[in-house]
Amino acid sequence: MESLDQENFGGYDAYFINELLNEHECPVCKMALREPIQTQCGHRLCLSCANEIRKRNKGVLVCPLDNSILNSSKIFADVAIERVIMQLKVKCSYFSNGCEWTGELKILNDHLGSCEYQTLKCSNIPCSTSLLRKKLKEHMEKLCIYRLVSCQYCKQKIMFSEKKIHEENCECLPLCCVNQCGMKIMRKEMSSHITDSCANTIIPCQYLNIGCKLKIYFEKHKTFWQSLNESLFFTNWLSLLV
Ligand SMILES: [Zn+2]
Ligand SMILES: [Zn+2]
Ligand SMILES: [Zn+2]
Ligand SMILES: [Zn+2]
Ligand SMILES: [Zn+2]
Ligand SMILES: [Zn+2]
């Protein structure tokens, strides 16, 4: 049968420990019967396989073994066979990866949900690594170059592979003041530090508008004028300028 959805069609494709008996195998999909039905001619099919035959025969269900036309009202769910099949012993679907689990078919799905030997894809985008479940956690949290880590300066979440470049250019990276005042200033605050508070910034005298060409360090600015104000010299000097 071509192009069938394996998830919704056919029987159980499990690794049975003992060879499947004929009576447990669907003649259509050749797998262990899933939701088996029994026909009036005494044959068994998976429910989904029967539905597929009906669909392909314009609504008519024909037995695949003897071609008899089947009456839907005379078909019943074979619960007894279903119970036997669900109790058959199977290996884990990932036994080729090393899993040694075996158990009844009915609990296989529970096991698969947590099987350490299942191959899973790392979910850190765009990582394409596939690993056994038991190794995935360590990969995703400690080894994957696409895992998210925090920038030590701005605390933003960034990809590990971009951490170095980000931190070198981070707005919050502390840099030595470009005026060499000895302070460490965040990159984004450097320009306001220079204009507003750096002790080494040289600014024009506040009396520039009346002609003073003096330029002094920001820090010394206040004390310079305080001391000048108090001196007689200051008054005389100002009068020379005006
Ligand atoms: Zn089938
Ligand atoms: Zn038949
Ligand atoms: Zn397993
Ligand atoms: Zn990864
Ligand atoms: Zn940062
Ligand atoms: Zn400074």
The whole-angstrom separation of Cα 128 and Cα 98 is 22
Closest listed residue to residue 72, CA positions, set 35, 116, 40: 40
- State which H helix or E strand residue 55 sits in: helix 47-56
Given this model, what pLDDT does residue 2 score? 37
Given this model, what pLDDT does residue 199 score? 85
Given this model, what pLDDT does residue 1 score? 35
Q: What is the Å distance from ligand 5's center to 166 Cα?
A: 6
Given this model, what pLDDT does residue 50 score? 94
Q: What is the Å distance from ligand 2's center to 14 Cα?
A: 25
**Rounded mean pLDDT, 64-81:** 92
Pick from 4-8, 28-32, 140-144: least confident: 4-8
**Rounded mean pLDDT, 22-45:** 95
Distances (CA, A) of 82 to 14, 35, 71, 237: 15, 6, 22, 111
> What is the chain's mean pLDDT, rounded?
87
**Rounded mean pLDDT, 217-228:** 59
Q: What is the Å distance from ligand 1's center to 86 Cα?
A: 15
Q: What is the Å distance from ligand 1's center to 50 Cα?
A: 8
**Terminal Cα-to-Cα distance of the chain (whole angstroms):** 105
**Rounded mean pLDDT, 65-83:** 93
Given pLDDT bands bounded at 50, 70 and 90, which one contains residue 195?
A: confident
